[in-house]
Amino acid sequence: MRILAINDISCVGKCSLTVALPIISACGVTCDILPTAILSTHTGGFQGYTFRDLSEDIPAIIAHWKSLHLQYDIIISGYLGSISQIEMVKQVKKDLLKEGGLFVVDPVMGDNGILYSHFDKHFVDEMKGLCRIADIIVPNLTEACFLTDINYANVTEKDYPAILAKLKELCPRPSVTGCDVECNGAIRSAVFYTDDAGKVKSCATEKIEGAFHGAGDVYASALVGALARGVHMDKAVEISAEFTKNIEKAVN
Ligand code: PXL
């Protein structure tokens, strides 16, 4: 099993490749990386961060890998710094994903109802295009709303199945994180997802209060690691949701 993780390197901030590489590797599968940018910190909550766009290097990296006949069982893409990088990821999928391989897209764009800096409506539209060629997408609730043109501010628990249904028009297997649900008077945090047969299901865990940048990266990495090990979707979602909650608890 060989996985390619496409994401940025945020030198500080517990997210992106600094999360994907250790978690996927700990699952016992080879994880190669394609860095999209190097930042001094992630872009959420920090001011004055540096941002080196690595787009210029990407075509030559891909050309070299093609000369080595590298092929991947799973490719997962995360934070992309520009629309041209979205196009590059489409090319990476064409050139480097094995036939029958899995293409997973984490459409990293925002949180808590707002887009991260750097992103706008045009970027969202292009990200929809990348989701259309994915086998699995793993947006958080904010990103799911942007992808489906649903107003995040008006969303309540009863809307989650409809959001999933709209996401399925983009990609057959969406998995949406950060969906608050009420269980016996307490708020829990759920993942709403479609199982291998296309049925909408949810998996709730204890809700840890606080803001956790990189939680989506932890979830996506664990999910991909579990799927790479042959775990079926229901169990992979359960393992990944539980693991993410435990990490949040540990750093809280
Ligand atoms: O974890 C998502 C993420 C990844 N990469 C960068 C980010 C963020 C979220 O803020 O800023 C650079």
Question: How far, rounded to the nearest angstrom, does the alpha carbon of residue 1 sit from its chain's CA centroid?
Answer: 20
Tokens 């899995």 identify what position? 102
**Atom 2, ligand 1: residue with shortest CA distance:** 214
186 in helix, strand or coil? Answer: strand
Give the Å distance between the CA of 74 and the centre of ligand 1: 21
Q: Is 15 in the pocket of ligand 1 (CB under 6 A)?
A: yes
Query: In the chain, what is the greatest distance between 2 CA atoms, to the nearest angstrom?
Result: 58
Note the pTM of the prediction, 2 decimals: 0.97
What phi and psi, each to the nearest 5 degrees, are found at residue 146? -65, -40
Q: Is 116 in the pocket of ligand 1 (CB under 6 A)?
A: yes
Mutate to test the pocket of ligand 1, among 8, 19, 39, 108 (most ligand atoms within 8 A of CB): 108
Positive or negative CA dihedral for 198, 200, 203, 208? positive
Give the Å distance between the CA of 112 and the centre of ligand 1: 13
Distance (Å, rounded) from C-alpha 204 to C-alpha 219? 13
Q: Is 39 in the pocket of ligand 1 (CB under 6 A)?
A: yes
**Atom 7, ligand 1: residue with shortest CA distance:** 42
Distance (Å, rounded) from C-alpha 238 to C-alpha 83? 33
Per-residue pLDDT of the chain (252 residues), as tens digits, is 999 999 999 999 999 999 999 999 999 999 999 999 999 999 988 999 999 999 999 999 999 999 999 999 999 999 999 999 999 999 999 999 999 999 999 999 999 999 998 899 999 999 999 999 999 999 999 999 999 999 999 999 999 999 999 999 999 999 999 999 999 999 999 999 999 899 999 999 999 998 889 999 999 999 999 999 999 999 999 999 999 999 999 987
Q: Judge residue 103's burial from the number of C-beta atoms within 10 Å of its C-beta, 0-12 exposed, 13-18 middle, 19 or more buried.
A: buried
195 in helix, strand or coil? Answer: coil
Closest ligand 1 atom to Cα of 108: 2
Q: Is 10 in the pocket of ligand 1 (CB under 6 A)?
A: yes
